[in-house]
């Protein structure tokens, strides 16, 4: 239910980051202030022209230059408004693309994975090793308690590692998020670089964030942290969605960069 609510808000353009809201309010305030100053300037200019000394006329070049400057500022404020509209449209596009990932199994960068004994779902990590060897695994709970230590054979490249929730003493630990740390060496004793990732199923998308965030195993991750997606029968479509989403995020960042020049 949370997903549908946040998505509707994003699609209607009524929500977003606080920076976007503040920028919009600032643009509106600037427009109102400019309009008031412009009217005052024109009244002053007209009065001075009506009452100028014919023998010592006012410098019209200076007034013309000021009029041009006012016009330039007005155009910049209008540009700000148009950029705000563009950002809202891009956020709606991001939200639509992100929703297609719900229910997909993904791998994101990180070392904390969820364990669910209730659904017989082990804590699962992806491991990318720089070479073949042996890894010393340490798993800790959210409170920092070491719950399991062991070794795992490693091959060069990507592989997965799962922990069923049982500690070294046979205790089955409660559901929650558990963090994996691994130190690996090759057969010759050289240190290996092992990069962990977290595997899980996306249960929700928060489209009010920019870029949107995903919820997996009770934790939130930015869309940019997704390393891979796997979903039977729809991998191609999901890959296309991620590509489209990344393109929208890139365009949004460019628009924000352009907008910041005028704020």
* Domain finish residue from 101, 117, 135: 101
- What's residue 254's pLDDT? 67
pLDDT digits (tens, 9 = 90+) for 104-145: 888 888 898 888 888 888 998 999 999 999 999 999 999 999
* Domain finish residue from 101, 116, 141: 101
* Domain finish residue from 58, 77, 101: 101
Q: Is 213 within the bounds of a domain?
A: yes
Whether residues 219 and 139 fall in one domain: yes
Cβ contact 52:84 at 8 Å: no
Range of the domain at 168: 106-230
Closest to 169 measured CA to CA, from 195, 145, 192, 201: 145
- What's residue 19's pLDDT? 46
Task: Write out residues in the chain with pLDDT < 50, as ranges.
Answer: 1-21, 232-237
Whether residues 22 and 117 fall in one domain: no
Cis peptide before 211 (omega within 30 of 0): yes
Which stretches of 51-139 are DSSP H helices? 60-99
* DSSP bridge pairs for 115: 176
Whether residues 116 and 224 fall in one domain: yes
Cβ contact 193:130 at 8 Å: yes
Q: Is 253 within the bounds of a domain?
A: no
Q: Is 246 within the bounds of a domain?
A: no
Whether residues 149 and 94 fall in one domain: no
Whether residues 79 and 148 fall in one domain: no
Whether residues 135 and 197 fall in one domain: yes
Q: Is 88 within the bounds of a domain?
A: yes
Q: With 0-12 CB in 10 A as exposed, 13-18 as middle and 19+ as buried, what is 145?
A: exposed
- What's residue 223's pLDDT? 80
Whether residues 49 and 142 fall in one domain: no
Whether residues 223 and 183 fall in one domain: yes
Q: Is 250 within the bounds of a domain?
A: no
Whether residues 78 and 119 fall in one domain: no
Cβ contact 92:13 at 8 Å: yes
- Three-class SS of residue 161? strand
CATH number of residue 168's parent domain: 2.60.40.4070
- What's residue 129's pLDDT? 94
Q: Is 18 within the bounds of a domain?
A: yes
What CA–CA distance (Å, rounded) separates 40 from 247?
A: 45
Q: Is 170 within the bounds of a domain?
A: yes
pTM exceeds 0.75: no
Whether residues 11 and 35 fall in one domain: yes
Cβ contact 123:200 at 8 Å: no
Closest to 102 measured CA to CA, from 243, 241, 249: 241
Whether residues 56 and 69 fall in one domain: yes
Instruction: Residue count of the chain, please give it.
Output: 263
- What's residue 134's pLDDT? 95
Q: Is 248 within the bounds of a domain?
A: no
* Total of domains in the chain: 2
What CA–CA distance (Å, rounded) separates 111 from 161?
A: 12
Whether residues 223 and 118 fall in one domain: yes
């Amino acid at each position: 239910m949370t997903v549908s609510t946040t998505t509707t808000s994003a699609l209607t353009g009524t929500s977003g980051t606080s920076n976007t809201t503040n920028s919009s309010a600032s643009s509106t305030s600037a427009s109102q202030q400019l309009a008031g100053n412009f009217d005052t300037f024109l009244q002053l200019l007209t009065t001075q022209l009506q009452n100028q000394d014919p023998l010592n006329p006012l410098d019209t070049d200076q007034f013309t230059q000021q009029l041009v400057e006012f016009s330039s500022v007005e155009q910049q404020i209008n540009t700000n408004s148009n950029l705000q509209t563009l950002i809202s449209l891009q956020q709606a596009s991001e939200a639509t693309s992100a929703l297609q990932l719900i229910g997909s199994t993904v791998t994101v960068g990180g070392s904390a994975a969820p364990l669910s004994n209730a659904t017989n779902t082990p804590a699962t990590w992806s491991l990318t090793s720089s070479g073949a060897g042996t890894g010393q695994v340490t798993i800790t709970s959210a409170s920092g308690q070491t719950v399991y230590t062991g070794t795992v054979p490693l091959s060069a490249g990507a592989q997965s590692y799962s922990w069923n929730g049982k500690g070294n003493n046979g205790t089955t630990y409660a559901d929650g998020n558990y963090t994996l740390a691994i130190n690996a060496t090759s057969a010759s004793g050289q240190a290996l670089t092992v990069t962990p990732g977290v595997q899980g199923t996306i249960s929700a998308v928060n489209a009010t964030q920019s870029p949107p965030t995903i919820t997996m195993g009770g934790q939130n991750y930015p869309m940019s942290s997704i390393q891979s997606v796997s979903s039977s029968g729809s991998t191609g479509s999901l890959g296309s969605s991620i590509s489209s989403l990344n393109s929208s995020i890139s365009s949004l960042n460019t628009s924000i960069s352009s907008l910041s020049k005028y704020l």
